[in-house]
Structure 1
């Protein structure tokens, strides 16, 4: 008997309509079929379900794993990214069926996130260590992955939506970010496959392998792009620091030193990505993501 939480079911129907309702109706049969196919036993789902159904599983040999399935655009990009990373800096992909968008990954124990570490310098060092392991040459066949140029099209799309304007986003902020994103994209160095959303809660610890990334977006771009998500997350944690400005300056300096990146490039990617996240929020909900704008204000105060 598989547990399908009511809150999760309601969310999926709200997000995906009849497609979500049909997927939920088939979900128990789908899970049962993969228990048999992969010779696993699936347990109760994790408590923080959102767009995907995620649950622990145990193999016949006692090996602990995590099963994930859903309707989002994470499939097939995420499993293909994990396959490319091959366990170097990221959780290992054990099996994947594209037909039903079901993937099986190793389970990290204890699996606590980098967010619980109180020493922020140690946090950045752990994150840069993961980054260096992840960044490998692009696979020969990499056309399934979007590029940061593709992501950057959101600037023009929002202008089109608002007849050349910037909608609810302040024009001065939007214009600066749009210009920076275009300039950085045109002057990128070596292209690698990036995680694309490498913040504190997407880096978990394993008792044997140390810190590993989970939930990659899988996007092609230069390594310096990867630092943006780490810098702007999480806003409540940043605000809880006695001096958010000094914290952010030190983080940028530390990232530049440990990764041998240009400090100005880290800063510029962070600012332009923060506005890009606001654009995506407007696209999804029609509402501003104020945390992104607050972070932009913080970055502007550094200059």
Structure 2
């Protein structure tokens, strides 16, 4: 099967030894060898992936390897990508603890932030951050019409305020978390960007929500406060803004799960938002 998959890759890439890494609704990830024997990744986008993830290629091109993997080539729905390594930031957390993983994230975030300082023009067709929140706004509007002042309504109001007061707008990864930061020959690198445009504090929001299987961390008020303090000092941003983006991102994720009918995951996501809300109420 993998040999048949490899036959669909552009011949000029001269890739070999395909190994299936993952397959999702948006893409098939295949590890290959380049002509010189070096590892690389071929990401074969599905029609859904073509709609949702092509902006990520422009994000990679904008950074040009600074803090993230390089886009080596593209042909249609096939992307040839630099191999980032096999060790994730989640592995680092499991071995060295949450604080150590958060520090690596801070260093990566600051490195990615340097690209804007070069004056390199940003891609013009990335997804606006407000568009990203459409699912939350839709869910909140439905609750309002039913006369319900739900967590979604409250979060949508906060999201609207944050989106009306964005600072330092720039290209965003859009899905920056422990399993999208990998360690390899070039050190820590970011993979799998979505390609958004907006306030960079949204890219910090996912850290409150992750790791997905660690509810002890995700629902910890002390962890949320400590992480927000770390981000505030490192990124020179108001702690309430950072926590606010963390809260509304969790509710956005809950709205997606709700739309998919996955009520258990929606409830877990709301639990993250409620923990962050309790911290916000003490500040």
Q: TM-score range, shorter-chain basis? A: 0.7 to 0.9
Alignment coverage as a number of residue pairs: 269
2:112 to 134, 139, 146: 134
**CA shift for structure 1 position 155:** 3.2
**CA shift for structure 1 position 199:** 0.7
Unaligned runs of 5+ in 1: 4-27
**CA shift for structure 1 position 42:** 4.2
User: 1:284 aligned to 2:260?
Assistant: yes
| Contact residue 195 and residue 218 of structure 1 kept, 8 A | yes
| Contact residue 278 and residue 293 of structure 1 kept, 8 A | yes
**CA shift for structure 1 position 281:** 1.8
State the partner residue of 1:200.
Answer: 178
User: Structure 1, residues 101-141: CA drift from partner, whole Å, max 9, x if none?
Assistant: 110111123x2110122322221111111112223338646
Greater mean deviation of Cα atoms: 188-197 or 136-145? 136-145
2:23 to 49, 53, 66: 49
3-state SS of 1:144 partner: coil
3-state SS of 2:23 partner: coil
Greater mean deviation of Cα atoms: 229-238 or 79-88? 229-238
State the partner residue of 1:250.
Answer: 226
**CA shift for structure 1 position 266:** 0.4
State the partner residue of 1:227.
Answer: 204
Q: Distance in 1 between matches of 2:9 and 2:123?
A: 28
**CA shift for structure 1 position 159:** 4.6
State the partner residue of 2:156.
Answer: 178
Greater mean deviation of Cα atoms: 153-162 or 221-230? 153-162
Superposition RMSD on alpha carbons, in Å? 2.4
**CA shift for structure 1 position 158:** 2.7
Q: Distance in 1 between matches of 2:54 and 2:159?
A: 27
Q: Distance in 2 between matches of 1:92 and 1:42?
A: 21
Q: Compute the TM-score of the two structures, normalised by the length of structure 1.
A: 0.81
User: Structure 1, residues 15-36: CA drift from partner, whole Å, max 9, x if none?
Assistant: xxxxxxxxxxxxx3x6314252
Q: Distance in 1 between matches of 2:19 and 2:98?
A: 34
Q: Distance in 2 between matches of 1:174 and 1:113?
A: 32
Q: Distance in 1 between matches of 2:144 and 2:101?
A: 43
State the partner residue of 2:11.
Answer: 36
State the partner residue of 2:124.
Answer: 143
In structure 2, do the counterparts of structure 1 residues 179 and 159 end up closer, same or farther at CA, with 3 Å as the change threshold? Answer: closer
Q: Distance in 2 between matches of 1:160 and 1:188?
A: 23
